[in-house]
Structure 1
Amino acid sequence: MSADELLESSATTMGDDRIRAFLTEQGVGTLALPDGDIPYLVPMSFGYDGESALYFAFLLFGSESRKETLSERAESAAFLAYDARSPHEWRSVSLRGRIEAIDEDEEGGWAALREAMENAWHPDLFSAAEPMRGVRGYRFRIDEWTGIRQGGPSE
């Protein structure tokens, strides 16, 4: 089923305010980073600043991190957040934008990340993992977004 056919069914597009509310409610999604012909997909906790950016905290283990390397060289990236409560009630927001590391010296960068990450979902798996070499903050600047939904309260 194409996106047009999907929207002709009972699914509807989400307006900007509904997308903002959805991103504020959610705390986990999938980050897609360019990696040759096939994108590298990573489940990620995220925070949303309520306006134009998502924030991620990469917990870094071992000597190398594929998501760190790919994020550093990516000119653009994509992100998907969704919530599927039932076959008849679901929401999905697809984002395109630019990902950038937050410099430790950047004024307000880490404060913005901490504030935005208050709603993020955090697995407890990583809290006990060893050896962790650090935490790196990233900002995903949203260039465009699309949201669709089926069921739930109307706008």
Structure 2
Amino acid sequence: MSMDEVRESSPDSMTDDQIRAFLMEQGVGILGLADEAVPYLVPMSFGYDGNSTLYFVFLLFGTESRKEQLSERSRQARFLVYSAESAHEWRSASLVGRIDAVPDDEWESLQDAMGNAWHPDVFSAANPMRGVEGYRFRIDEWTGIQNTG
């Protein structure tokens, strides 16, 4: 590998404004919740308020939801958002924050932020669905890296 190729493939840090813009563009990421031995990772659609909070809507199936249980007992969670256009053009942001249920009187904030969320159609025929719960992820810290080729 030549030095030009090494320079071309070296990532750059993203600024706070670049991370905000990236989160506004994206609508899906990976939520990581603490479990006893192995982290629980789940792909999630998300909305972003443009400032310091992500919003999720959990579709709840069956009598128990591991995602719901772990969200309720986790003090902190991690969320990863990434986009990979090619080997030399990609971005990723890693966020650490607190996750908690959205109270009924704050659902309007959740709905306003969900404009950029990606919603899969795979769950529309799933049974038995027992409900929908809103969660917010209050961002405590973030880092972002990118390679723009």
With the shorter chain as reference, the TM-score category is over 0.9
Q: Confirm whether residue 141 of structure 1 aligns to residue 138 of structure 2.
A: yes
User: 1:36: how far off?
Assistant: 1.1
Aligned length: 144
- In the superposition, the TM-score normalised over structure 1's length comes to 0.89
How is 1:8-23 mapped onto 2 (pairs within 5 angstroms)?
10-23=10-23
User: Residue in 1 aligned with 2:3?
Assistant: none
Gaps of 5+ in 1: 1-5
Q: Confirm whether residue 112 of structure 1 aligns to residue 109 of structure 2.
A: yes
CA distance in 2: counterparts of 1:41 and 1:149, whole angstroms? 23
User: 1:51: how far off?
Assistant: 0.2
User: Residue in 1 aligned with 2:78?
Assistant: 78
Gaps of 5+ in 2: 1-5
User: Residue in 2 aligned with 1:121?
Assistant: 118
Match of 1:43, as an amino acid?
P
Identity in percent: 68
Match of 1:146, as an amino acid?
T
Of 54-63 and 128-137, deviating more is 128-137
User: 1:129: how far off?
Assistant: 1.2
User: Residue in 1 aligned with 2:60?
Assistant: 60
CA distance in 2: counterparts of 1:132 and 1:61, whole angstroms? 4
- In the superposition, the TM-score normalised over structure 2's length comes to 0.92
User: 1:10: how far off?
Assistant: 2.3
Q: Confirm whether residue 131 of structure 1 aligns to residue 128 of structure 2.
A: yes
